[in-house]
A and B are shown apart, each in its own frame.
Chain A
Amino acid sequence: MTRDPVLTFTDRGIFCPAGGFFVDPWRPVDRALITHGHADHARPGHARYLATEAAAPVLRHRLGDITLETVAYGATLRIGDALVSFHPAGHVPGSAQIRIEVAGEVWVVSGDYKVVADGLSEPFEPVRCHSFITESTFGLPVFRWPTQADVGAHLNRWWRESVAEGVTPVLGAYSLGKAQRLLAMLDPAIGPILTHGAVESTTEVLRRQGYALPDTVHVTPETKGTDHPGALVLAPPSALGSTWARRFGKVSGGFASGWMQLRGVRRRRAVDRGFVISDHADWTGLLWAIEQTGAENIYVTHGYTDVFTRYLNDSGWNAAVVRTEYEGETTESEAAE
């Protein structure tokens, strides 16, 4: 007797025939299980959503009045013939990998993940499985992240030096996840932290939820550049160099992203300072995570899929590329995160 695979890949997203649900679908469906709140994973228009309790406030904030059921990390639900549970992915606060078991066979959809603790997101937990669906945003050996402590020290030194030179540091970062992680890394003793509206609203949602985040000052149209001497400004990348940023006078532009590892990208963006910090696993992290799952079959979604898959196959895994519409960390805009 042949039976359906636990998960299939359709043009609407990753589908579980036994449970009749999708994971992070990109077209409207009846039932969607959501790994985390970034726009390329949590899209509007589904009839019913299921996510972790921790991810719920951000999802409601971003998607409005949706029909959302929540579940605690680690708790098992039965949906149709499938057993489903959510496990921390370490990507952003509230993010999860989704474990799906059908008749004893286990698959894990990792969504986006990173394996080192960032001090804010629930730390990544490896989940044993037969088949593992992984991203590969930074699936090249040239991507290996420095420690968060090193980048944090660099970040705060840049802040202090900029203030000493009489320029305002303006740091570009995605509004969900990266911005809050940076907030937690910044040293509030140096000065006030100003935030762009896009960053502030998400930060406020997470703060109310109980994540430990420092105080911030929301920049409104009335805010003058001179109101807060010694301040650092946290804004979406697109705000760097815009008319919005002009109120701060002379600025030093910084950008925090895994892409800052590459000189070429850093120079094309023309920022003064690039901070190598990503919410995605680096090369070492991806390989470690895959090893930990004990999986035989690896499905590689967004990123350097072809190269990474070839390497996995050469190294003894049974790996295949899966086309999805996830975007990972883009070099250019903040369209997705």
Chain B
Amino acid sequence: MKRFAQLFREIDGSTKTTVKVAALADYFRDAPETDRLWTVALFSGRRPRRAITTTRLREWAAERAGLPLWLLEESYAIVGDLAETIALLLPTGESVDDSGLTFWINALRDISNVSEEDRKDFIHRAWDQLGTTERFLFNKLITGGFRIGVSQKLMTRALAQATGRDEAEMAHRLMGNWTPETTSWHELIEAENSAADASRPYPFYLAYGLDTEPEALGLPEDWRAEWKWDGIRGQLVLRDGSHFLWSRGEELITDTFPEFARAVDFVPDGTVLDGEIMVWTAEGPQSFNALQKRIGRKTVSKKLLTDAIADNFSAVADIFSSEDGYAVRLDTLLNRYTEAGGIIDIRTEGYNTQIDRITSQREALDRRIAAIEARYTAQFNALDTLLGELSTTGDFLTEQLANLPGMVKSDK
């Protein structure tokens, strides 16, 4: 846990991306392999199962700290993070434990089988052996959610640095439904033969709102518009003669939509399609309601399936191979991107121009701020002088009034 705590302190101790990436890359080079694997898992939202409820955790922490529960709750309201609150409340401890991250994760998993009294003992002993930062991280393993300013992108960059591999490859390798229990560091990050996971999807390409006027995108002819269909986002992977369907949340939903099994008959092996899953009958696209019958089902009954296939046998094939099918459209689309003077070329140029413009705007803003600052300083000095003069005048007047014949100084 000490090495993991050191990594955390380095990441937490800087606002600079380069420093965070360097700290992560170091960790991915020198920490034990299982700890690295768990770190990747935690930072990509794969947390271990919760072994203890937070209610119990609060009670046991208050007891250990010798404080009433209400005071822990009040403190939590100020701190805003239960794991941190507990770490700060417990009696200050020295870090005397040398076990790694994996040890503690496994230990937490194992206590789900023991009595509550034993669990409490385990947690109390763990707290006693860990330093403040380690305790915080240990508590985080229980409460979940490692939001510590490390994005998936930052982590893949660090992995690329540590392994000397391509960033995009790293992003791809982290996809899919692996857990540290089902894979190893070598298999996930290093193994050349990725056959181990033919199902692995690519990172989903997400849509972003425009931050400039639409005109900045260039000529409409350079673009291809698609309907925003009312379905669910999915990725269809065709490899080794099998097909795999992934949802946007990286869940394997192959069995929910067995229709796609036919894709292997029409589409070349090794193709991956990223698109919208929806119901399409002879009458054309159907509403989301038609899709909803399927969502949430792990498998599809025979009847449901035969009905669906009978309804639109040819439509399924058309989606892939007709003249306006995916294959043809993909080919045309790719050309537009990659040819000289194509979309990628033009986009690059457009961004460079934008960067120049923003830079000059920023410089202008800096100059304006400096001018405003100078003006305010001058105004303040003038006011200060005036105030001094007024106060002198005030003193003078008080004296004059006091000396007027017939006036008596009131004594307040």
Chain A residues within CB distance 8 Å of chain B: 30, 140-144, 243, 253, 261-264, 266-267, 270-273, 304, 307, 310-311, 314
Contact = CB atoms under 8 A, between A and B. Distances in A.
Contact of A142 (B13, B14, B16, B75): B75
Contact of B75 (A30, A140, A243, A273): A140
A30 B373 contact: no
A140 B74 contact: yes
Interface stretch (B82-90, B96-104, B267-275): B82-90
Interface string B65-87: 10110110011001111001100
A311 B70 CA distance: 10
B222 interface: no
Contact of A271 (B15, B65, B84): B15
Nearest to B91: A144
A77 B80 CA distance: 48
B151 interface: no
B402 to A, nearest CB: 14
- Most chain B CB within 10 A, of A142, A261, A307, A314, is at A142
18 contacts: A30-B412, A140-B75, A140-B78, A141-B88, A142-B88, A144-B92, A243-B369, A243-B370, A243-B373, A262-B78, A263-B84, A264-B81, A272-B13, A273-B13, A273-B14, A310-B70, A311-B68, A311-B71
A262 B87 CA distance: 11
Contacts of A307: 71, 74
B255 interface: no
B71 A263 contact: no
A85 to B, nearest CB: 27
A144 B88 contact: yes
B187 interface: no
A217 B84 CA distance: 39
| Most chain A beta carbons < 10 A, residue from B65, B85, B88 | B88
Interface majority SS (helix, strand, loop, mixed), chain B: helix
Given A142-B85, A243-B369, A264 B80 contact: yes
Contact of A261 (B12, B13, B70, B88): B88
B16 A272 contact: yes
A273 B19 CA distance: 13
Instruction: Output the residue of A261, A263, A266, A267 with the most chain B CB within 10 A.
Output: A263
A261 B74 CA distance: 16
Contacts of A30: 412
Given A273-B13, A307-B71, A142 B81 contact: no
B interface, how many residues as a size bin? 20 to 34
A263 B81 contact: yes
Contact of B79 (A144, A262, A310): A262
B370 A142 contact: no
B15 A270 contact: yes
Contacts, number: 53
B324 interface: no
B373 to A, nearest CB: 6
Interface of B: 12-16, 65, 67-68, 70-71, 74-75, 78-81, 84-85, 88-89, 92, 149, 366, 369-370, 373, 412
A253 B67 CA distance: 36
Q: List 10 tightest A-B contacts by C-beta distance, closest first.
A: A142-B88, A307-B74, A142-B75, A140-B75, A264-B80, A272-B14, A141-B89, A270-B15, A272-B15, A243-B370
Nearest to B13: A273
A142 B92 contact: no
Nearest to B388: A64
B267 to A, nearest CB: 47
A220 B71 CA distance: 48
Nearest to A262: B79
A241 to B, nearest CB: 11
Contacts of A304: 74, 78
Contacts of B15: 253, 270-272
A142 B74 CA distance: 10
A142 B67 CA distance: 11
Q: Which of A141, A263, A267 has the most CB of B within 10 A?
A: A141
Contacts of A266: 12
A32 to B, nearest CB: 14
Contacts of A271: 15
B161 to A, nearest CB: 18
B89 A243 contact: no
Contacts of A140: 71, 74-75, 78
Nearest to A315: B68
Given A30-B412, A267-B149, A310-B70, 7 more contacts: A140-B75, A141-B71, A142-B89, A243-B366, A264-B79, A272-B13, A307-B74
Contacts of B16: 272
Nearest to A314: B68
Residue of B78, B366, B369, B412 with most partner-chain A CB within 10 A: B78
A270 B15 CA distance: 7
Contacts of B370: 243
B7 to A, nearest CB: 15
A144 B71 CA distance: 15
Nearest to B84: A263
A266 B14 CA distance: 10
A314 to B, nearest CB: 7
A118 B272 CA distance: 65
B412 A262 contact: no
A141 B92 contact: no
A102 B154 CA distance: 66
Given A30-B412, A140-B78, A272-B14, A262 B84 contact: yes
Nearest to B12: A263
A14 B92 CA distance: 37
Contacts of B14: 272-273
A157 to B, nearest CB: 11
Contacts of B74: 140, 304, 307
A141 B369 contact: no
A231 B88 CA distance: 34
A284 to B, nearest CB: 10
Contact of A141 (B75, B81, B84, B366): B75
A262 B89 CA distance: 12
A141 B80 contact: no
A65 to B, nearest CB: 9
